[in-house]
Chain A
Amino acid sequence: MLATNQTAETASANKRSNPLLNFLNSKKVVPYIFVSPFIISFIVLTLYPAIRGIMMSFQSVLPGQVEFIGLANYERVFNPTFYKALMNTSIYVVLTVVILTILPIIFAVILDSKLVKLKTLFRASLFMPTLASTIVAGMIFRLMFGETDSGAANQIISLFGLDPVNWRYHAWSGMFLMVLLCVWRWLGVNILYFLAALQNVPNELYEAADIDGASIFQKFRFVTLPFLKPVTIFVVTISIINGFRMFEESFVFWEAGSPNNIGLTVVGYIYQQGIQQNDMGFGAAIGVILMIIIFIISFIQLILTGAFKRGDQ
């Protein structure tokens, strides 16, 4: 190994006499050149904005004049509107996490079983909604869940003898629309994750369970579920983080503002205060609080799932 490296280095040294080129091509320097785009972008686009964001949260930022105002932004953040946004976001996170974990497991198990024919067709049609952007999907939903009696949703519920609903004007139905949009778009992706994990379950285990006389549900509970644990953790984690980042689902239904803030989310509040009202210091303070919330949740999750025990890899 060492010998080949040396021959390689002498070979290239013979070919090139330019010391700068040799330096740039040495195995000590090359890896750093390769990772330099990452280092630069990490410093410029993550580290610096993160620090600056924390600084901004203690400032009053107006065009041309920046003033240190201590904790004043944070004192203002804890107001009824923020609590409303946090509440909406939390409810949204809980609902989407529960639905987007349980439903995909059920569908993946069914699609993986011998019961179903046309697997590819079913999988493809469940995956199809992911390709539409939230804006396009939201536009369809908004036109389907229109206020008038003639909107598709109101027509369907009238078949069951229910009165038409003003979907975008009640807290419960507003939440329903946002969750529905998210579930519709992400169901297929999560099914793919679980399907991939199901490939890892050895068939012998099912056969052994059959010999022991296990029922379908016992097999699911004691054979399938343990194998799905790692993916489930992954799906729950990204669903929580994506839930706290939610903005588009709300924006597409209400743009600037929903009645009584029924659709306001934490990121929506950052956008409203930081960009629309141009109060960047205040917006940055909400951002810092969101960052703390997400870190705490990720941390709890890492502890609960024992990720710290696994070592360096």
Chain B
Amino acid sequence: MNKRGTSNALKWFTNIGMAIVCLIALFPVIMLLISSFRPSTELMRTGISLNFDWSMLNLDNYTYIFTQSAEYWTWYTNSLVISAITIVLSLFFSSMVGYALAVYDFKGKHLFFTFVVFILMVPFEILMLPLFQMMISFQLVNSYLGVIIPMIVAPIAVFFFRQYALGLPVQLMDAARIDGATEYGIFFKIMLPLMAPSLGAMAILQGLGSWNNFLWPLIVLRSNDMFTLPIGLATLLTPYGNNYDVLIAGSVMTIVPIIILFIFFQRYFVAGLTTGGVKG
């Protein structure tokens, strides 16, 4: 009896404790949401504040960005286009490479895989200045291509697709060959559909990475009309930017595509995160 009493107390304690921790974690998001309905002038004066006049809450910030701020939607479009192209290309090329490393035996295979792991360890930041110089000489500065090209083959995705493709039923390939299918046909028509869960997981990871990517676009993109969302919003944060209406309602709107992406592929996400990590 007594023992059950203490364990019940412990249960209450941990549950309430976790609830408080979760509330703290969600607190900034909740504050952002509430503040986005406050007048932007108030926000500029007080920052995100605990005491505000509830009667002041209104939709003005949202009305403003939807009707007045063409600039914000230009950034939005740029981000959408760049992320969509990055997801499609990086999934396409990386799955091809990962698949080949898993199902074929060929000379240099282990060397290639070693390179993949090696690149995983080379931080992008140390390559960014020479890459920027290359973009200057190819005249790709301030263009979508300049942002996208370095992201096309993602070593983390190659690594992940290889791990996943190791589990593919190779017997299907022989069967298809007898039926006269080409190796490319086998990949696109039979194996790639079987890799769908891994594609879903990587779509989220690559999408999240590209949508939130900051440093490289900051270097390559030069003009306001080419900026992506994070860079555009960051310009509003400077001491000279006082567009708090766009800043705060715009920040809320940046999370919308991510939520949509997440709802679509979330089944695969946890699996994606852990396969890459734990087995590596």
Contacts and interface: CB of A to CB of B under 8 A. Distances in A.
A290 B215 contact: no
Given A37-B93, A37-B152, A294 B130 contact: no
B278 interface: yes
Contacts of B86: none
A116 B14 contact: yes
Contact of A135 (B47, B115, B127, B230): B230
A139 B174 contact: no
Interface in A110-149: 110-111, 113, 115-118, 121-122, 125-126, 128-137, 139-144, 146, 148
How would you classify the secondary structure of chain B's contact residues: helix, strand, loop or mixed?
Answer: helix
B237 A115 contact: no
Contacts of B127: 45-46, 49-50, 53, 287
Contact of B131 (A12, A49, A234, A283): A49
Contact of B278 (A7, A25, A184, A196): A196
Interface in A64-81: none
Interface stretch (B24-32, B65-73, B193-201): B24-32
A226 B207 CA distance: 34
Interface stretch (A27-35, A169-177, A204-212, A217-225): A27-35
Contacts of A305: none
A151 B49 contact: yes
Interface string B4-22: 0000001100110111011
A270 interface: yes
A8 B181 CA distance: 9
A56 B28 contact: no
B46 A146 contact: yes
Contacts of B180: 11-12, 15
B128 A270 contact: yes
A196 B126 CA distance: 32
B51 interface: yes
B130 A284 contact: yes
Given A38-B116, A140-B32, A255-B238, A184 B25 contact: yes
B46 A150 contact: yes
Nearest to A32: B106
B122 interface: yes
Which of A15, A143, A151, A244 has the largest count of B CB atoms less than 10 A from its CB? A143
A131 B255 contact: yes
B132 interface: yes
Interface residues of A, number: 102
A8 B18 contact: no
Nearest to B271: A196
Contacts of A134: 212, 214, 230
A35 B100 contact: yes
Contacts, number: 283
B123 A244 contact: yes
A197 interface: yes
Nearest to A246: B125
Interface string B137-172: 000000000000110110000100000000000000
Nearest to B213: A133
Contacts of A7: 178
Contact of B18 (A110, A129, A287): A110
B101 A35 contact: yes
B104 A126 contact: no
B277 A56 contact: no
A136 B270 CA distance: 23
B13 to A, nearest CB: 9
Contacts of A271: 215, 219
A85 interface: no
A115 B278 contact: no
B87 interface: no
Contact of B22 (A9, A28, A126, A251): A126
Contacts of B229: 133
Contact of A241 (B18, B26, B123, B258): B123
B26 to A, nearest CB: 5
7 contacts: A12-B177, A135-B233, A143-B48, A143-B248, A146-B48, A248-B215, A294-B126
Interface of A: 1, 4-5, 7-9, 11-12, 15, 25, 27-28, 30-32, 34-35, 37-39, 41-42, 45-46, 48-50, 52-53, 56, 61, 107, 110-111, 113, 115-118, 121-122, 125-126, 128-137, 139-144, 146, 148, 150-152, 155-156, 184, 187-189, 192-193, 196-197, 230-231, 234-235, 241, 244-245, 247-248, 251-252, 255, 267, 270-271, 274-275, 280, 283-284, 287-288, 290-291, 294-295, 298, 312
Given A113-B14, A284-B130, 13 more contacts: A5-B174, A11-B178, A11-B180, A35-B96, A35-B97, A35-B100, A38-B97, A52-B133, A53-B129, A132-B254, A148-B45, A245-B124, A294-B126
